[in-house]
Homo-oligomer: A and B are copies of this chain.
Amino acid sequence: MSLYADQRYRAELAASRAGALVTREPLDGISVPQLVHPDPFLALIDLVEMFYPKPSARKGVDPLASVSPDARLAEDVAILPFATLEAGVTIGARSVVHPGVFLGKDVSIGEDCVLWPNVVIRESCRIGNRVILHPGAVVGADGFGFARREGKFLKIRHVGTVVIEDDVEIGANATIDRGTLGRTLIRSGVKIDNLVHIAHNVEIGRDSAMAAQVGISGSTIVGERVLMGGQVGLVDHLTIGDDAVLIAQSGVIGNVSEKAVVSGYPARPHREVLKIAAELRGLARLRKQIGELERELRSRARGTSDRDEKPEKPDP
């Protein structure tokens, strides 16, 4: 089964060995069955459910897990080998805690969550319902905050927390630091890809998405439905407006307004960046033009001045 949602890949279809095709409009010259749907990605979600039934849920606490007698587990949870649940941890109904997961003191996990192997959530952090944490994700490590005295760094102990609301997904080996005093806040519906870094006291608005390796510095506030491409970086204490788009690898050092589309370093409106890039490619030509202008002006000057103004050399 293959998905065809973008005109750009029309040429690749011929070479595809897919057994069936999901497409927005019927296509000519395709020998495999076509499933026509106005939104192929939505159709795909249903098709996957049909063709790839979910494995039956695991339940129970593995004898090789380390669960504090003080932890509270709702019905139908699964706690797998080598998971550690410290005192005061609560796990909502039907959530699955895979091997090697660490949940610090008083961490609370909502219902229907999946914590993949080796996820770490430090003390007091709160996770909503239907949250997915991919392998190796770290929630609630200390923020990178120090006082500096005579060139040496003094650690500011981070006593804040992380709050992750419902329906959030955090990528493999991503890191979400706890607040210095207050909280780092990931609002509901946010999707965070692998190896993303979210610093202390950041807030991410509802339904925003960050592709892999994005880095967001301390106390920056990101609006709702903001989209960030891979490897985007934001400095601290910024405000990013709702529905803004930060194109891959942008280096954002100033606030971004609602619905703005920015790129480059330092990030500017993308249209401006494209214009400058075009100008840059013409820069050598520009330099030549100026050289020619100078020569022309000089020869012209010589042509007129030789006769009536300030001859550089005496006429022989």
Residues in B whose Cβ lies below 8 Å from that of A64:
64, 66
Copies in the complex: 3
Asked if B42 and A147 sit within 8 Å, CB to CB, the answer is yes
| A189 surroundings in chain B (CB, below 8 A) | 152-153
Q: B52 and A62: CB pair below 8 A? A: no
User: In the bound complex, do residue A229 and residue B237 qualify as a contact, i.e. CB atoms below 8 Å apart?
Assistant: no
Evaluate contact between A45 and B156: CB separation under 8 angstroms: yes
Point out the residues of chain B lying under 8 angstroms from A283, CB to CB: 276, 279-280, 283
Q: Are B237 and A136 neighbours in the complex by a CB distance under 8 Å?
A: no
Q: Which residues of chain B have C-beta atoms less than 8 A from A135's C-beta? A: 102, 120, 122, 138, 141
Query: How far does the alpha carbon of A52 sit from the alpha carbon of B158 in the complex, in Å?
Result: 10
Tell which of B44, B141, B279 touches A284, judged by Cβ atoms closer than 8 Å: B279
- Which of chain B's residues have a CB closer than 8 A to the CB of A276? 280-281, 283-284
The answer to whether A249 touches B264 (Cβ under 8 A) is: no
**Least Cβ distance of A235 to chain B in Å?**
6
Complex Cα–Cα for A135 and B135 (A): 13
Given contacts A84-B80, A249-B233, A249-B265, contact A286 B287 (CB under 8 A): yes
* A interface size (C-beta, 8 A): 113
Cα distance A161–B277 in the bound complex, in angstroms: 39
- State whether A82 and B98 are in contact (beta carbons under 8 Å apart), knowing that A122-B116, A153-B189, A230-B215 are contacts in the complex: no
CB distance from A80 to the nearest CB of B (A): 7
Contact status B118-A118, CB under 8 Å: yes
Residues on the B chain within 8 Å of A157, using CB: 45, 48-49, 52, 54
Q: Which A residues between 23 and 60 are near B, CB-CB below 8 angstroms?
A: 39, 41-42, 44-45, 48-49, 51-52, 54-55
Q: Does A13 contact B (CB under 8 A)?
A: no
**Is A134 on the interface with B (CB-CB < 8 A)?**
yes
B122 x A120 contact (CB < 8 A): no
Residues of A146-203 contacting chain B, CB below 8 A: 146-149, 151-157, 159, 169, 171-173, 175, 177, 180-181, 189, 191, 193-195, 197, 199
**A→B interface (CB under 8 Å):** 1-3, 6, 8-9, 39, 41-42, 44-45, 48-49, 51-52, 54-55, 62, 64, 66, 80-82, 84, 98-100, 102, 105, 116-118, 120, 122, 132, 134-136, 138, 141-142, 144, 146-149, 151-157, 159, 169, 171-173, 175, 177, 180-181, 189, 191, 193-195, 197, 199, 207, 209, 211-213, 215, 217, 225, 229-231, 233, 235, 237, 248-249, 251, 253, 264-266, 272, 275-277, 279-284, 286-287, 289-290, 293-294, 296-297, 300-301, 303-304, 309
Other A-B contacts than A80-B84, A98-B102, A175-B194, 14 sampled, CB-CB below 8 A, are A3-B181, A66-B99, A81-B84, A99-B102, A100-B102, A122-B135, A138-B173, A138-B194, A146-B209, A173-B175, A173-B195, A197-B212, A276-B281, A300-B301
Q: List 19 A-B contacts (CB under 8 A).
A: A41-B156, A44-B180, A49-B157, A62-B66, A66-B82, A102-B135, A118-B120, A135-B138, A136-B138, A141-B171, A151-B225, A153-B209, A155-B169, A212-B215, A265-B265, A276-B283, A276-B284, A286-B287, A290-B293
